Amino acid sequence: MIDDIDSKIIKLLGKDARMPNNQIAKAIKVSEGTVRNRIAKLLNQKIINISLIRNVNQMNNPGIAFIGLDVEASLKEKIAKQLSRMPEVRFVSTLMGRHDLMAFVLAENAAELSHILYQKIASIEGVQFTESSIGLKYFKYDYKWGRLVDE
């Protein structure tokens, strides 16, 4: 688990992961060595990772879809893994309630999105029903959080 010092470091790195250790040390009043050790620990235990995030608002016409899937019960895990292997699919989770699975897709444009939704995903064996919502406007996205899943 993480303590107060860890959370302060996570908060600073969540804004700018390139902040030098000595600046972090000054900001939270601990030694530079402590900062170095804590960051190493947080990375080793996969509590954080350092990511480069690209701004989708800089893409020309990105197609983003939120897809709920109902699937053949015995194939749920297999389908989750199949979806995870598709590069355009950025998020896959099994669900309790609503649908059996949920996936988020980020495509370069509307044509690619339609191909992924209606050709690639619809043709996966065991997918019985999909409900797609297309992203129109993004009010909040707190990129400091994620699930660090082993692939």
| Positions in the binding site for another protein (CB under 8 A) | 1-2, 7, 10, 13-18, 42, 45-58, 64, 66, 80-81, 83-84, 89-99, 102, 106, 131-149, 151
Our CB check for another protein shows the closer of 111 and 148 to be 148
Report the Cα 38 to chain-centroid distance in Å.
24
Min. distance of Cβ 85 from another protein in angstroms? 9
Q: Cα–Cα distance between 135 and 26 in angstroms, integer?
A: 41
Spell out the residues 6+ positions from residue 71 whose beta carbon is closer than 8 angstroms to its own: 79, 100, 101, 126, 127, 128
Pick 5 or 17: Cβ nearer another protein: 17
- Residue placing its CB nearer to another protein in the complex, 29 or 54: 54
Least gap, CB of 116 to another protein (angstroms): 15
Least separation, in Å, of the C-beta of 70 and another protein?
A: 12
In the complex, least distance from residue 147 CB atom to another protein, rounded to whole angstroms: 4
Would you say 111 or 149 has its CB closer to another protein? 149
For residue 113, the tally of other CB atoms under 10 A from its CB is 22
How far apart, in Å, are the Cα atoms of 111 and each of 18, 98, 151?
37, 27, 28
Q: In sequence order, which residues have a C-beta less than 8 Å from that of residue 64 and are 6 or more positions away? A: 56, 104, 105, 106, 107, 113, 134, 135
For residue 134, give both structure tokens. 């297309």
Closest distance to another protein from the beta carbon of 5 (Å): 14
Comparing CB distances to another protein, the nearer of 56 and 111 is 56
